Amino acid sequence: MIKNFDEVLSMAQSQSTKKVAVAVAQDKPVLEAIKDACEIGLVEAVLVGNKDKIEEVAKEINLDLSKFEIIHEADAAKAALIAVELVSTGKADMVMKGLVDTANFLRAVLNKEKGLRTGKLMSHVAVFEVPGIDRLLFITDAAFNMYPQLKEKIDIVNNAVTVAKAVGIDTPKVAPVCAVEVVNPDMPATLDAAMLSKMCERGQIKGCKIDGPLALDNALSVEAAHHKGITGEVAGQADILLMPNIEAGNIMYKTLSYTTSSKSGALLVGTSAPVVLTSRNDSHETKMNAIALAALVAELLKK
């Protein structure tokens, strides 16, 4: 089982090279990540955006553009739609956000005619390599779905399971994380957790193991779970942490990012192809990790 991002990158490099369409590519941090990803054979890229500005940035970072296809489109919204259409028509395997605002980018992704809609819920999956934890952690949803109900949580779980399987976890363990590890009728998240667990037990949710509600300590630590008398395959060994709402997910994401030396990468899934939606604050390493994850998910979706 893959336990860190070095192994994620190696796994992605070992498969067939994927092509990424970069939407509004005249973004220095994004082009730096694309440059390095291409140099190590992780991906090939099509750069969509203002050609003059792409050339300016390329000169600044010493990027040889002769190895790239460039599609000129000065309008950001139109460039985003072109990049997305390259993916929906099979000319690229994934799309990455460049220097375009998130609303316009997602509008292109969700375009009814040229976008990447599947009829499923789209959700954000963040993958963390956390010091002291012997496995990758998949945290969802920290950025996209605000207050998911049971029906949405089923899709969010399935999306996260897809990412976990892409990195080689055959049967990921899912912990619906709550404030407590018992069902409390006054705490709706615990009711959802119990129902998700029963649905998985009965085969209504496939490809994973779900057990909850679990408090965070019982999801991550075998010792903590044992101390409270909690047993089962998920207790203390969770791969996927299903957050009850966006506040919990976002706080956990940023806590790991800013108070630990964790490594991370994230993407949007639930679409017909992976979507790399990095933040301006994301490090170069985080962008590279996201590209590698997207390449692995693209490989799985092709199968």
pLDDT at 303: 82
- Boundaries of every domain in the chain: 5-117+271-302, 123-259
- Give Cβ neighbours of residue 145 (< 8 Å, ≥ 6 apart): 121, 123, 124, 152, 156, 246
Whether 4 and 34 have beta carbons less than 8 Å apart is answered as no
pLDDT at 141: 97
- Give Cβ neighbours of residue 39 (< 8 Å, ≥ 6 apart): none
Beta bridge partners of 128: 137, 264
| DSSP assigned state of 244 | S
Give the separation between CA 283 and CA 59, rounded to whole angstroms: 21
pLDDT, block means (10 residues), the chain with 303 residues? 93 96 96 96 97 97 95 97 98 97 95 94 97 96 96 98 97 97 96 98 97 96 94 96 97 96 97 92 93 97 88
Architecture of domain 5-117+271-302: 3-Layer(aba) Sandwich (3.40)
Whether 190 and 197 have beta carbons less than 8 Å apart is answered as no
Q: What are phi and psi of 47, to 5 degrees?
A: -100, 115
pTM above 0.85, yes or no: yes
Give the separation between CA 275 and CA 209, rounded to whole angstroms: 26
pLDDT at 1: 78
pLDDT at 281: 83
Please tell me the CATH code under which domain 123-259 is placed: 3.40.718.10
pLDDT at 280: 81
Could you tell me which of 120, 155, 129 has the C-alpha nearest to residue 141? 155
Could you tell me which of 298, 291, 295 has the C-alpha nearest to residue 271? 298
Give the separation between CA 2 and CA 9, rounded to whole angstroms: 10
Q: Is 45 helix (H, G, I), strand (E, B) or coil?
A: strand
